[in-house]
Structure 1
């Protein structure tokens, strides 16, 4: 599905190299938006940009690391130079690294906090002035944050990941108070079990695709990245006075 009312918009999608980010970028471009693709894997981004262009869309591949302030600032400057002011930001970049807290994997804690939470803060700050300027003059401006159902439901060994996503959900609610009066919509989306590359990052075989997570995939059946992307497009395509504040999307069999 595409959303024609998104035609002419300028979007930034983080974590666009795969999964929900790539699916969202494709949908927005197919709907007529110009899309800046942000992620660390530049070759993946270039390939996606080429495929979007071949389908008649417009996309710019911008290699950036949301855990690095200078990288985010440089990406923002390049995007404005090539595409102009941004009116739609999708904070999707994330990493999921479950392990028992007592394992003391401080490297994983830091990586998840820096990517899942501080990365959202950096990107929101980098494009916040653009969004407020568009909203302030009566245009449609959207900030969409991809959180997780893990922000509400406790999963064993996912404590730090869940905490970062709970922070994103709370941050989204708080940002509505800041951005809403300035004409900027803030939408928080919480997917459940989704078929993405997140599981590939898990180095604990008992918890990864050969263990706990893989068992969930078999028993429940995940939703697709395109299902989440469709919610992004739907939320951003509503009339500008309508803000879908919170969206939860789960596989039918997930409690």
Structure 2
């Protein structure tokens, strides 16, 4: 956390619960923290308590549902502290309204949990870019309810809003990677936490939720935020940057899933060998990706013939050094039943099982020869493996 000492963090919903706990921990770690809340007197009380801490807490009043108040807060920060280095999007509201009984409460949930979050994020990024801050951090306080729906409980707009936060987090992360920015984006998803927010459910249901679920304290989430901020700047490289310049082999690359995978990998800077019988389709795709960060190499091969597979690996070894990633995508289906097995069924086994095994064997061999101990092999499978269709 030392690298953040003296930096500016903006924490929304800082008057109580998780927001107050985060503000307190950041100030204790030497940060200048702007605590934003409607009940600003609560933040001022916390500010007084933290007078002797290494950092400093600034209480700023704002209703996050009003864009003009968000913009005014950023203007205050710019004039008084220079700008924002860290944004903690913590402010959130819930509703007891069900999806079949949506009213004004549900729209307010979207205004605060989604719309305001996006405005804060936009303005924080703007602040960072204006000052050429390329290592800032944006953290969204999400919820486990954004990842899965609860059983035996009503679903509300709150759940939908937290699902939206997941999409907004990953979408922004991809945008920043494409731009070459080192600004990090993180979503922290607590479960049931003992805060004022739980009063929404009423006293009886709140007690039941506490009794039936493992509960967290606000300090636990604050600790998770501190841990996240303490990770090295390069940690987000794990998304795709570490594969830039590496070699991926994608089978069945002429159309559909294979072509889509090829395109995404090339756009992320990977050298991709697209294997297909209809090699002209891969060549067309390669022409369309000329300006992408990576490069697509079209290679003709029949994946059901071992000699073609071995020749492909030999070409890769001679021209690109070897394989780091293998995507076993080539596959074939049949309408034949098990009681009416014919030649097509044997071809299905040759392509979907035997060829996959050979590709995997040769990819592992290529990796071992070059001391590659962090490669990746991905099999494109089908859900029929896990269920029987009636």
In the superposition, the TM-score normalised over structure 1's length comes to: 0.86
Question: In 2, Cα distance between the equivalents of 1:77 and 1:217?
Answer: 41
- Find the counterpart in structure 1 of residue 184 from structure 2: 185
| Per-residue Cα deviation, 1:122-177 (whole angstroms, up to 9, x for no partner) | 1111221123356x55x531000011100122122233111000001110000001
**Which residue among 116, 126, 130 is the counterpart of 2:127?**
130
Q: Which runs of 5+ in 2 are unaligned?
A: 240-390
Is contact 1:5-1:31 (8 Å) kept?
A: no
Do 1:132 and 1:183's aligned partners in 2 also have CA atoms closer than 8 Å? Answer: no
- Once residues 48 and 6 of structure 2 are traced to their aligned partners in structure 1, the CA distance between those partners, rounded to angstroms, is 19
The CA deviation at 1:221 is 3.7
Deviation at 1:208, TM superposition (A): 2.5
Q: Does 1:220 align with 2:217?
A: no
The one of 169, 176, 182 equivalent to 2:166 is 169
Matched-pair contact (CA < 8 Å) for 1:87–1:131: yes
Alignment of 1:197-212 (within 5 A): 197-200=196-199, 202=200, 207-211=201-205
TM-superposed deviation, 1:105: 4.1
Distance (whole Å) between structure 2 residues aligned to residue 245 and residue 91 of structure 1: 23
Partner of 2:147: 152
Q: Tell me if structure 2 keeps the 8 A contact 1:19–1:197.
A: yes
Q: Counterparts of 2:4 and 2:10 in 1: how far apart (Å)? A: 13
**CA-CA distance at 1:245 after TM superposition:** 8.8
Q: Residue 66 of structure 1 contacts residue 122 of structure 1 at CA under 8 Å; is this kept in 2?
A: no
Structure 1 consecutive aligned stretches of length 4 or more whose deviation exceeds 4 Å = none
**Count of aligned pairs:** 235
Aligned partner of residue 154 in structure 1, secondary structure: coil
Query: Is the partner of 1:242 in helix, strand or coil?
Result: helix
- Larger Rg computed on CA atoms: 2
CA–CA distance in 2 between the matches of 1:131 and 1:242? 19
Q: Specify which of 2, 13, 16 is matched with residue 15 of structure 1.
A: 13
Q: Residues 1-255 of structure 1: matches in 2 within 5 Å? A: 3-102=1-100, 104-133=101-130, 136=132, 139-155=134-150, 156-180=153-177, 181-200=180-199, 202=200, 207-211=201-205, 213-243=206-236
- Give the CA deviation at 1:219: 2.4
* Alignment RMSD: 2.0
Distance in 1 (alpha carbons) for counterparts of 2:69 and 2:231? 32
Using CA pairs under 8 Å that are at least 6 residues apart, name the structure with larger relative contact order, 1 or 2: 1
Secondary structure of 1:241 counterpart: helix
In structure 1, C-alpha distance between the alignment counterparts of 2:16 and 2:44, rounded to whole Å? 12
Shift of the 154–108 alpha-carbon distance from structure 1 to 2, 3 Å rule, reads same
- CA separation of 1:53 and 1:166: change in aligned 2, threshold 3 A: same
Query: SS where residue 38 of structure 1 aligns?
Result: strand
Determine the structure 2 residue equivalent to 1:250.
none
Q: Which residue of 2 aligns with 1:249?
A: none
Aligned equivalents of 2:78 and 2:55: distance in 1?
A: 18
Gaps of 5+ in 1: 247-255
